Each structure stands twice: as C-alpha cells, then as structure tokens.
C-alpha cells in the first residue's frame, strides 16, 4: 500500500506542476493580448 500511495502522491505533484505551467502560459498569453 505504501508504494501505491507514493505513486499517487507523485502523480498529484506532477499534475500540480503541469497545472502551474499551463496557468503561467495562459497568463503570459493574456498579458500579450491585453497589451
């Protein structure tokens, strides 16, 4: 079970990092469109 939980937490961390990267990309595109 511990190995399973470590895999789950790793997947959550990767998903969070991908979300932050996509949000940063959206914000940069939005700022370019606004300016």
> pLDDT tens for residues 1-35?
567 778 888 889 999 999 999 999 999 999 999 98
Give first-to-last CA distance, the chain, whole Å.
51
User: Can you give the pLDDT at residue 6?
Assistant: 82
Compute CA 29 distance to the chain's CA centroid, rounded to the nearest angstrom.
17
Cα gap 15→18, rounded to integer Å: 5
User: Can you give the pLDDT at residue 17?
Assistant: 94
User: Can you give the pLDDT at residue 8?
Assistant: 81
User: Where would I find the H helices in the chain?
Assistant: 2-34
User: Can you give the pLDDT at residue 29?
Assistant: 96
Cα gap 3→14, rounded to integer Å: 17
> In a 3-state reduction of DSSP, which class is residue 34?
helix
């Amino acid at each position: 079970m511990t190995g399973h939980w470590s895999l789950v937490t790793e997947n959550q961390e990767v998903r969070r990092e991908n979300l932050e990267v996509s949000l940063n990309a959206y914000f940069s595109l939005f700022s370019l469109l606004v300016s």
